[in-house]
Amino acid sequence: MNVVPNLVEIRDLHFAYGERPILSGLEMDFPRRKVVAVMGGSGSGKTTILRLIGGQLQAQKGSITLDGQAVDARNTKAMYAMRRKMGMLFQHGALFTDLTVFENVAFPLREHTSLPEELIRDLVLMKLHAVGLRNAAQLKPAEISGGMARRVALARAVALDPQLIMYDEPFAGLDPISMGVAANLIRRLNDALGSTSIVVSHDVHETFLIADYVYFLSQGRIVAHGSPQQMQESSDPYVKQFVHAEADGPVPFHYPGRSLAADLHLETK
């Protein structure tokens, strides 16, 4: 049996904002050419993982490697070169509102390469064609729908044919049709480029359709991991509650703290 080598490896990772721990002792593998989902409730540390891999944050303990090279946010020059291998789809697209669709996708090519404008033009049109928006190239983000804007952001994320593509809530705020289109694009582009994709998402249905492997986080720790089918069949209380959208389970509705009765001074002395 051939073992697929990992593009990204996380070992004994710890991160905190001040005295507040966010991630504790993470061990994660992201194999080449696979789509790996990172799921969990709000505040579980999912987006923080992407920021650590991208070098926006620096862990207090542990290591992250990309293609065998250590990710070190303190080394600006090395991080700039390493980001040449990464693509990022931000949660709300984060397009430049004053630039056209074409200029948005061209931005990383102009920033990270010295390619002639004629070649950049061809590459941008090819990426826009791949997401079905070549004919919207001269429109501004305000002139297209939210779903289209997310597809433009996806074209920008893959403009450099990155080894690693990171998606932060790619399905948030999309209608069912746009959601299905986005999911299919993520899977298709990953396979076409031979990339590794990390998908942070709350959407169980769409994510499970395209993911090869799933990690579930709770309070900064991995509580379960496996294939989508294994997660659907899991008897773990946290996974079961999340996957089946159950109201009752280990994830509470109320933020922990004093009771309502205590705040209203109704508790008996």
Residue 166 tokens read as 């990171």
Distance, CA of 105 to CA of 152 (rounded, Å): 7
Mean per-residue pLDDT, 183-194: 89
Distance, CA of 258 to CA of 238 (rounded, Å): 24
Let me know: does 242 contact 205? Beta carbons within 8 Å.
Answer: no
pLDDT in tens, 68-85: 899 988 888 888 888 888
Confirm whether 235 is domain-assigned: yes
For residue 231, the Cα-to-chain-centroid distance in whole angstroms is: 19
Distances (CA, A) of 115 to 119, 127, 138, 156, 160: 7, 16, 21, 16, 11
Distances (CA, A) of 61 to 26, 168, 221: 10, 24, 14
Confirm whether 267 is domain-assigned: no
**Which phi and psi (to 5°) does residue 184 adopt?**
-65, -40
Residue 181 tokens read as 């289109």
Mean per-residue pLDDT, 48-70: 91
Q: What is the H or E stretch that residue 262 is in?
A: helix 260-263
Let me know: does 241 contact 248? Beta carbons within 8 Å.
Answer: yes
Distance, CA of 257 to CA of 255 (rounded, Å): 7
Whether 255 has a pLDDT exceeding 60, the answer reads no
Q: Give SS3 for 256.
A: coil
pTM: 0.83
pLDDT in tens, 143-172: 998 888 888 988 998 888 899 999 998 887
Whether 206 has a pLDDT exceeding 70, the answer reads yes
Confirm whether 142 is domain-assigned: yes
The amino acid at 218: S
Confirm whether 264 is domain-assigned: no
Tally of domains in the chain:
1
Confirm whether 266 is domain-assigned: no
Let me know: does 200 contact 49? Beta carbons within 8 Å.
Answer: yes
Decide the pairing of beta strands 6-17 and 221-226: unpaired
Whether 268 has a pLDDT exceeding 70, the answer reads no
Distance, CA of 124 to CA of 209 (rounded, Å): 28
pLDDT at 111: 86
Report the CATH number that the domain containing residue 121 is assigned in CATH. 3.40.50.300
The closest of 19, 9, 23, 108 to 58, measured between CA atoms, is 23
Residue 47 tokens read as 């987006």
Whether 238 has a pLDDT exceeding 90, the answer reads no
Confirm whether 176 is domain-assigned: yes
Q: Which domain holds residue 158?
A: 6-247
Confirm whether 265 is domain-assigned: no
- The band of 256, judged by pLDDT with boundaries at 50, 70 and 90, is low
**Which phi and psi (to 5°) does residue 268 adopt?**
-70, 145
Confirm whether 147 is domain-assigned: yes
Distance, CA of 90 to CA of 129 (rounded, Å): 21
**Which phi and psi (to 5°) does residue 19 adopt?**
-95, 0
Helix axes 176-193 and 146-157, enclosed angle (nearest 10): 10
